[in-house]
Structure 1
Amino acid sequence: MPKFDMGAAWDDSLNLMKSHSALTGTIAAFFLFLPTLAVAWFGPLATEPATGADFAQVMEVFQSNFRAFLPYQLAITLFTIVGTVAILRLWLARTGTSVGEALTFALMLFPTMVAIQILSGIMLGIGFLLLLIPGLYLLGRLALVAPAVADRGLYNPLTAIGESWRLTENNGWAIFFFLFLVGVVILIAALIVGGVVGIATSGGSDLARIVEGLVEAIFAAAGSFVSIAISAAAYRQLAASNLPNVFD
């Protein structure tokens, strides 16, 4: 298999994010930004452990927060699945595709993507239970599943996972580190901006929740959008290496 070129993938990611920007921006706003914003503004507030709480009490608060937020996080995930496939379809389709066609395609592939999420989650869970390193490696090997589905219309989740596994052979770590580095940069920026906003709005007020929720949603959507572009660029690079001129 060819060696994954991070520089070329980053350049292609930037080109992808510039292409169909009005269309992909609209989809990203509705499916990536608005759900997160709605949960941040109208969802439950996290409970903080009492001062001096012991480990059992901290875990009890954690479990309570987990149960409270789980339905909302599942809803965000489902919206993100549709938005991700639609954006990828606009970028990877060999012929012109409208927003309506991309969304219809994404909804048709929705059950497949849900199944893929479940299977990938099981694989990653086993990987992280065994050791941290296998789990991280699997993140790289599974990174091209969604682009493969969006490009080829793969309805069999096992086929889609197998295609990502084939394309990322000998490149799993390179793809993981690329995604990791970009994610760290976005996380640091989000923490800095969030910290400044928290200080400026005197955290705890209604205004603080509104502004902090807006910042959280912006960075979450931006991070997802960039990650989608990176996965699409990596797919284009490695798929084109296997099938020359396939994206020309």
Structure 2
Amino acid sequence: MTFDMGRAWNDAVKILAANKDVLAIVAGVFFFLPSLALSILAPGTELEAAAGDPDRMQAALIAYASQFGWLFAMYVIATTVGTLTLYALLGRHHRPNVGEAIKIGFTALLPFFASSLIVGMSFVVLFLLVGLLAGATGSSAVGIILGIALVGLFVFVSFRLILVGPIMAIEGIYNPVAAISRSWSLIKGNTRYIIAFVILVVLAMIIVGAVLGMMFALVGALMGATAALWVNAILSGLLSAVMSVIMLSIYCAIHQQLAGGTSQADLETFE
């Protein structure tokens, strides 16, 4: 079937409007609080200072990872569980309660990481092969051209696999290879429409986020360094939560449309 951008957007808006109370709670726990904690406990001031200097940036990244790697890992786990939890809450026809949805999120966590690892390692191997080929030919141009092509391929594949999370959390397909295959099949024939749709939404959110960021930065600057840290952390956490909920609602709407699910307008809200 042909992907309908207007229908997907309308379904996403209905999802948000119908379930805003529960979405606010889950997003606050799994997106806002982890983002706030990461910003306050592990501020990236040294990374910002090293921007533009590759050597300093490498040293700053190593130092940051050694000091805050455990906290960043907890952040990734929390937001991933939250993502899968929201997919289950938003997309399952049999409406789970929050506890059941969180259980689904934890159940899908390792399979979701496995699917990401499969795709990531595949591209690592491809980039290594490109490097070997460029070295064998002695031509940097070959390496650059193939590298750019691989980056383009990675973007294409990433969009073809955006439904892996919904497929696991909504359909209960926890086999990473099966979930990857199903996402690839569902999006087949509609890749360009989905890429355009997602890019438009992301650009709109980036613009709104940038405007709000400048406003909060000005307020923070007038309040002193400590206050600025908290203001920026709160803004970052709020934007992370809001944007995550919007994007996840959109992915659920895309899955619902391509998988032939019932319209969100016909579904009941959370129990």
Alignment TM-score, normalising by the size of structure 2: 0.80
| Contact 2:123 2:154 survives alignment (8 Å) | yes
CA distance in 1, matches of 2:196, 2:179: 22
8 Å CA contact 1:186–1:219 kept in 2: the answer is no
Structure 2 residue aligned with 1:19: 18
The 8 Å contact of residues 112 and 164 in structure 2, kept in 1 or not, is answered as: no
Q: Does 1:222 pair with 2:221?
A: no
Quick check: 1:37 aligned with 2:57?
no
Q: Which has the higher contact order (CA 8 A, sep 6+)?
A: 2
| Map 1:1-248 → 2, pairs under 5 A | 2-47=1-46, 48-49=48-49, 55-65=54-64, 68=67, 70-123=69-122, 126=126, 129=147, 130-202=149-221, 205-240=225-260
Segments of structure 2 that go 5 or more residues without pairing to the other structure are: 128-145, 267-271
Matches of 1:193 and 1:117 in 2, distance apart? 32
Query: Gapped runs of 5+ residues in structure 1?
Result: none
Shift of 1:109: 2.0
Aligned-residue sequence identity (percent) comes to: 26
The size of the alignment, in residue pairs, is: 243
- Distance 1:186-1:246 versus aligned 2 partners, 3 A rule: closer
Which shows bigger deviation, 63-72 or 207-216? 63-72
In structure 1, how many angstroms separate the alpha carbons of the residues matched to 2:31 and 2:100?
A: 19
Please report how far the alpha carbon of residue 72 of structure 1 lies from its aligned counterpart in structure 2 after TM superposition: 3.2
Would the aligned equivalents of 1:3 and 1:170 in 2 still touch at CA under 8 Å?
yes
> Could you say if the C-alpha distance between residues 181 and 63 of structure 1 is closer, same or farther in structure 2, counting changes exceeding 3 Å?
farther
Aligned residues of 1:145 and 1:164 also touching (Cα < 8 A):
yes
Structure 1 pair 124–71 and aligned structure 2 pair: CA distance change class (3 A):
farther
Letter paired with 1:185? A
Q: Is the 8 A contact 2:30 2:79 kept in 1?
A: yes
**Secondary structure, counterpart of 1:97 in structure 2:** coil
Q: Distance in 2 between matches of 1:137 and 1:206?
A: 42
Q: Deviations over 1:123-149 (max 9, x none)?
A: 566589543321221121011111111
1:124, 1:138 within 8 Å by CA — same for their partners in 2?
no
TM-score by length of 1: 0.86
Q: Is the 8 A contact 1:4 1:175 kept in 2?
A: yes
How far is 1:60 from its partner? Answer: 3.2
Whole-Å Cα distance in 2 between the matches of residues 64 and 143 of structure 1?
32
Hey, what's the Cα distance between the residues in 2 that align with 1:171 and 1:138? 13
How far off its partner does 1:10 sit?
0.6
Q: Do the aligned partners of residues 206 and 246 (structure 1) sit closer, same or farther apart at CA in structure 2, a change above 3 Å counting?
A: closer
Q: 1-side partners of 2:246 and 2:35: how far apart? A: 16
State the one-letter code of the partner of 1:178.
F
Q: Distance in 2 between matches of 1:72 and 1:178?
A: 33
Task: Point out the more displaced range, 41-50 or 58-67.
Answer: 58-67
The structure richer in helix per residue is 2
2:88–2:169 CA contact under 8 A, matched in 1: yes
Q: Could you say which structure has the larger radius of gyration? A: 2
CA deviation after TM superposition for structure 1 residue 213, in Å: 0.5
Q: Residues 117-170 of structure 1: CA distance to partner in whole angstroms, max 9, x if unpaired?
A: 322333566589543321221121011111111121112111111110010002
